[in-house]
Amino acid sequence: MRGLAGKVGIVAGGGRGIGAATAHRLAEEGASVVIGDIMGDWAGEVADAIRASGGKAIGVRLDGTAAASQGEIVAAAKAEFGGLDFYHSNLAGGTEGDIDALNCTEEVLDKSFAINTKSHFLATQAALPALLERGGGAMIYTSSGAASGAAPWQVAYPMTKNAIHALARHVAAKWGKDGVRANVICPGLVLTEAVKQHLTDDYVARAKKALPHTRLGQPEDIAAAVTFLASADGAWVNGQVWHVNGGAQMRD
């Protein structure tokens, strides 16, 4: 893809899964990558693997729900690589106890909003000044097909993911004239470690059967879309919510 050589990006929640695959792909395209994760060791291991393949990366511990930590990861990008051109806000979690609206506790709701919505807001607050210093850049948020699905078994996570869409449209509308683009990727079912831990083999088999595609998603499928949005090839994509899902939901 065009325009990523020499650019600097952050991947938050990049210690494994979709974020790790995205960090690898961005580095392959020539970007310098700062990988942040609450699991600092995982972030370090992904960065080590990228450097071992000849790429440029560092890994740092990030608590995405804390403004100070978001400020530190942006500062790390500036200190190590001289600035920031894009931020992939990808982390998620806190789905334990998130069931239907009558049985999801207030604590579970608050936790989910902290991890799955507030972290993206704080990432935006930390990253935007650095993007504007460079004359623009890209925010890319990871949402989910769950945002537009209708799951009877889960209430908070879909609510939090919808909020990200509003955040991205706000950023796109407010700072588009300044060269900032903000977009959202909604993955369908992607076979990451997290998914393999939480979903039964039967659920995965049924999802594969229902999908109008030959296979379920791999982290690299989402990494490709994120990398496109970060690159110069994505220069005219702004304020969009993209479903990358093998056709699981077909949306305008």
As a whole number of angstroms, the distance between CA 28 and CA 160 comes to 32
Q: Nearest approach, Cβ of 5 to ligand NAD (angstroms)?
A: 26
Q: Does 87 qualify as catalytic in the annotation?
A: no
CA-to-CA dists, residue 195 to 8, 17, 63, 200, 232, angstroms: 29, 9, 22, 9, 31
- Other CB atoms within a 10 A radius of the CB of residue 102 amount to 6
Which of 87, 141, 157, 203 is an active site residue?
157
Nearer Cβ to ligand NAD (84/189) = 189
Name the residue type at position 49: A
Nearer to ligand NAD, 32 or 89 (CB): 89
Q: What minimum distance in Å lies between the beta carbon of 110 and ligand NAD?
A: 14
Place of tokens 């479903």: 243
Q: Which residue is nearest to ligand NAD (CB)?
A: 17
Binding site for ligand NAD (CB under 6 A): 13, 15-19, 37-39, 42, 62-65, 90-93, 115, 119, 142, 144-145, 187, 189-190, 192-195
Closer to ligand NAD at the Cβ: 62 or 138? 62
- For 21, half-sphere exposure in the C-beta direction (CA atoms, 13 angstrom radius) is 16
Structure tokens at 163: 């909020």
Phi, psi of 35 (to 5 degrees): -100, 125
Nearer to ligand NAD, 205 or 232 (CB): 205
Supply the minimum distance, in Å, between the C-beta of residue 189 and ligand NAD: 5
**Residues that are catalytic:** 157
